[in-house]
Structure 1
Amino acid sequence: MASIPGTSEAPTTPMAESTQENHTVPLIILTSLFFMWGFLTVMNDVLIPHLKNYFDLSYTQASLIQFCFFGAYGIMSIPASMIVKRIGYQNGAVLGLIIAGLGCFMFFPAAELSVYAIFLGALFVLASGITILQVSANPYVTRLGSPSGASQRLTLTQAFNSLGTTIGPKVGGLLILGGVTYGATELATMDAEAVTAYYKSKADAVKMPYVFMGLSLVGLAVFFRFMKLPKIVDAELAPGGQYKKAWEYKHLILGAVGIFMYVGGEVSIGSWLINLLADPNVAGLDEEHASALLMYFWGGAMVGRFVGAFLMTSVAPQKLLTICAIVVVALLFSTSFTSGKVAMYSVIAIGLFNSIMFPTIFSLALNRLGAATSEGSGILCVAIVGGAFIPLAQGVLADSVGIQLSYLLPIVCYAYIAFYGFKGYKAD
């Protein structure tokens, strides 16, 4: 097959992947991308309580952080799939890293000017870069080897995404949520100069962490650009063959709904977790200590992905998906209707069972798409926009009925995922 102009990827073909080449090194390199976007994404869970207090936002207003971040997936995924199809998976990943780095650098003027709208704009740019990374890296991993092992490979690499989401809350908690936080009553007793200094310190807390992350992304882009990686080319049609568009695959569309539901449910649970743990009926923790427990939520997802990759050697991925979704539904009921440690441990345990869902849905949905694989990947990444809408809906619900009962909303998401694992995954 012809090489894609402008790429440095070493040619390979889908037929050669499972029999002639060892893709261990490329997979190891790709895990660095999964780690980075996991780390960057989970930092939103730290930003939400920080900016909520700093700008005195309601739950609904604070949910705009996730709305702008995950809204980028809805807007940018299809253009990203077109770009990746033109320049190749490797160059697409490089472009995504550079754009994500630019978004990180935008946090400096946002904090300097103390304007919430600029923070939201920076998050949109950052997420646009991660969108291109997702469109590039997820199908890349599914194609680096035999089709039968796609779910297992993607689950294993996603485990390093979870490593990023595990470390992120701890780092963010120390760098951003650390220090003294004053309430409205305490601020009212302070003079104007002290109040100004307090708010400046809270704004400055986000500057250097994001500038450092921006520099890391640009450095990773340079490294990744000059690595020799296999070139994955979507299957071409035989002469006279007919091209079936991605939209015509029922299991892909049902999978896209599954991705919407999963990302929306997972992001909702994580976004409001610090606020939930601060609720006196649950744990009554301050933000810094609650962010440390958030690390266990995402750590469970990391452990679950390693365990899930092992289990998939003997258990069908779709069966494991259904079982995990049913367990999460039960845990969400427990989170909403119990109190104290039972509610706290129930919500933290959800991370463990969330673990295999995204990579399993993604790989099942891309199964047997052939020439429509990059287009299908774009559609699936559009569905990540669920992370914008469902947390927003939960934020509105939390303002109405309270943070704990708002955790009933994600149950709808996981009920659908159970259906997809039971029946919806079946390819045409």
Structure 2
Amino acid sequence: MENQTNKKGTLVAIITMMFLFAMIAFVTNMAAPFGTIWKQHYEWAGMMGNMMNFLAYLFMGIPAGLMISKYGYKKTALVALALGLVGIGIQFCSSAMDGNAIITYIVYLLGAFVCGFCVCILNTVVNPMLNLLGGGGNRGNQLIQTGGSLNSLAATLTPMFAGSLIGEITKDTSLNAVRPLLLIALIIFAVSFVIVWFTQLTEPETEKTDVLGGVKEALHYRQLKLGIIAIFFYVGIEVGIPGQLLFYLSEPVANGGVLGSAATAGLIAGVYWMLMLVGRFVSAFISGKVSSRMQLTVTSAVALLLLLVAIFMPETSKMSLSIPNLAESTFDHVEVPTKVLFIILCGICTSVMWGVIFNLATEGLGKYTATASGLFMTMVVGGGVMPFIQNLMATKIGDIQSYWLIVGMLAYMLFYALIGSHPSKKA
């Protein structure tokens, strides 16, 4: 009977963690569509909301890991959801302000920053708990990839919904257009808080370790040191690929853009996240047999090839697409450069990278897993820094040429898969 109770508690914990995994994507993926609005008012502002989301990781990564050690996974998750409710509330307030005023943008960025604390803490909770609930190794990675599938589903729907609300991009477009999405987010966070509050979680046991000693000892593991660099680049890759694609496609045609529609661009970019869903779903089934190292090697190499093809393919090569018009329940026929297809296909490759890097970086760390997770989360700031740099590059050398930054980061991922991820601890 006790064994059955433990199994039930473990199952409830797994389901709860996977739901929180979806929440992470929902919050994070609002930033890029919102950025298409702000970019029309301030050219530098396109990726600033995303930057503020991820900047919070730099400040909260290690404290989040320490919160788990002191208060446990459930209480830490509740703190995260409360912060998410506050952050979305601030953004909702900004949507009611003057859409063209700089103070409106500052308030919005403050909300995005608070939301960043939320998703950082949730990430710190979800990944190690799923890994530990699965017993580590391939089974732990399998649970992370399954949760990642729900994460990708939320990531797919968010830019599509946001884009449909924004519609055609003009100088008069303001954040007021996406108020319904922010209201939905407020409701979801409130409901999530209540669900987690009343859920009885059977938490994995964690050993109490000295804070500074734990960080110092964890950094003796080479696979973790190189792994946190890999995650810095990876999140930059995952966010930068569809983020810059969204700007590339939504730029007004009058300014030399491709489509000039945030709705259409959001649907196309959403396919990238949908392919991440497919990739993670497949990985969830094969991870019991195919090692994390092999998955990272293959996906890094294929993504490199796809982006090189996209960069060198001529702009004149076009393909026709039938895009559903959600507002009018019809289909719009549009032409986009064929290279867009190769960029979108990278979603299959990036889909598995988060889980396998985390799995490889924390393999063999034992009682230092929670501390390592905090260090790991700190470097997720790369998801704000690298896309921001890429966006600045795009203003100078063009949207497509800015993907050379992604190519360089993918080269490091391949190095980590082949060499850097092998477990090694220095004395």
Q: Name the TM-score class by shorter chain.
A: 0.7 to 0.9
Q: CA deviation at 1:26?
A: 2.2
Partner of 1:208: 180
Structure 2: which 5+ residue stretches go unaligned? 99-103, 319-336
Q: CA deviation at 1:379?
A: 0.4
Question: Normalising to structure 1: TM-score of the pair?
Answer: 0.85
- Give yes or no for the alignment of 1:426 onto 2:415: no
Q: CA deviation at 1:49?
A: 0.6
- Give yes or no for the alignment of 1:402 onto 2:386: no
The alignment yields a C-alpha RMSD, in angstroms, of 2.3
For the residues of structure 1 that align with 2:215 and 2:399, how far apart are their CA atoms? 48
For the residues of structure 1 that align with 2:421 and 2:207, how far apart are their CA atoms? 21
For the residues of structure 1 that align with 2:111 and 2:170, how far apart are their CA atoms? 26
Partner of 1:189: none
Partner of 2:54: 70
For the residues of structure 2 that align with 1:315 and 1:203, how far apart are their CA atoms? 45
Give the secondary-structure state (helix, strand or coil) at the position aligned to 1:112: coil
Q: Deviations over 1:210-244 (max 9, x none)?
A: 1321221122112102211112122479xxxx997
Partner of 2:342: 346
- 1:44–1:271 contact (8 Å) kept in structure 2: no
Give the secondary-structure state (helix, strand or coil) at the position aligned to 2:96: helix
Give the secondary-structure state (helix, strand or coil) at the position aligned to 1:230: coil
Q: CA deviation at 1:387?
A: 0.9
Letter paired with 1:39: F
Q: CA 1:404–1:282 in 2, change beyond 3 Å: closer, same or farther? A: farther
Partner of 1:135: 124
Report which stretch shifted further, 391-400 or 211-220.
211-220
Report which stretch shifted further, 204-213 or 69-78.
204-213
Q: CA deviation at 1:113?
A: 2.7
Percent of aligned pairs with the same amino acid: 27
Aligned length: 387
Question: Normalising to structure 2: TM-score of the pair?
Answer: 0.85
Q: CA deviation at 1:287?
A: 1.8
Q: CA 1:181–1:271 in 2, change beyond 3 Å: closer, same or farther? A: closer
Structural mapping, 1:281-300, within 5 Å = 283-284=258-259, 286-300=261-275
Partner of 1:7: none
Partner of 2:322: none
For the residues of structure 2 that align with 1:122 and 1:243, how far apart are their CA atoms? 30
Letter paired with 1:155: Q
Letter paired with 2:47: S
For the residues of structure 1 that align with 2:75 and 2:359, how far apart are their CA atoms? 22
- 1:335–1:407 contact (8 Å) kept in structure 2: no
- Give yes or no for the alignment of 1:47 onto 2:22: no
Give the secondary-structure state (helix, strand or coil) at the position aligned to 2:199: coil
The structure 2 residue matched to 1:391, chosen from 387, 390, 410, is 387
- 2:37–2:175 contact (8 Å) kept in structure 1: no
Give the secondary-structure state (helix, strand or coil) at the position aligned to 2:338: helix
For the residues of structure 2 that align with 1:379 and 1:118, how far apart are their CA atoms? 29
Letter paired with 2:150: F
- Give yes or no for the alignment of 1:334 onto 2:309: yes
The structure 1 residue matched to 2:141, chosen from 139, 151, 168, is 151
- 2:278–2:348 contact (8 Å) kept in structure 1: yes
Letter paired with 1:309: A
For the residues of structure 2 that align with 1:211 and 1:182, how far apart are their CA atoms? 23
Q: CA 1:374–1:406 in 2, change beyond 3 Å: closer, same or farther? A: same
- 2:13–2:202 contact (8 Å) kept in structure 1: yes
Q: CA 1:243–1:169 in 2, change beyond 3 Å: closer, same or farther? A: closer
Give the secondary-structure state (helix, strand or coil) at the position aligned to 2:386: helix
Partner of 1:89: 73
Partner of 2:367: 371
Partner of 1:258: 230
For the residues of structure 2 that align with 1:138 and 1:169, how far apart are their CA atoms? 24
For the residues of structure 1 that align with 2:379 and 2:309, how far apart are their CA atoms? 28
Report which stretch shifted further, 202-211 or 385-394.
202-211
Q: Deviations over 1:74-130 (max 9, x none)?
A: 111112222222110111111101101110000122222331111111100011111
Q: CA 1:203–1:235 in 2, change beyond 3 Å: closer, same or farther? A: closer
Structure 1: which 5+ residue stretches go unaligned? 1-11, 184-197
Letter paired with 1:397: M
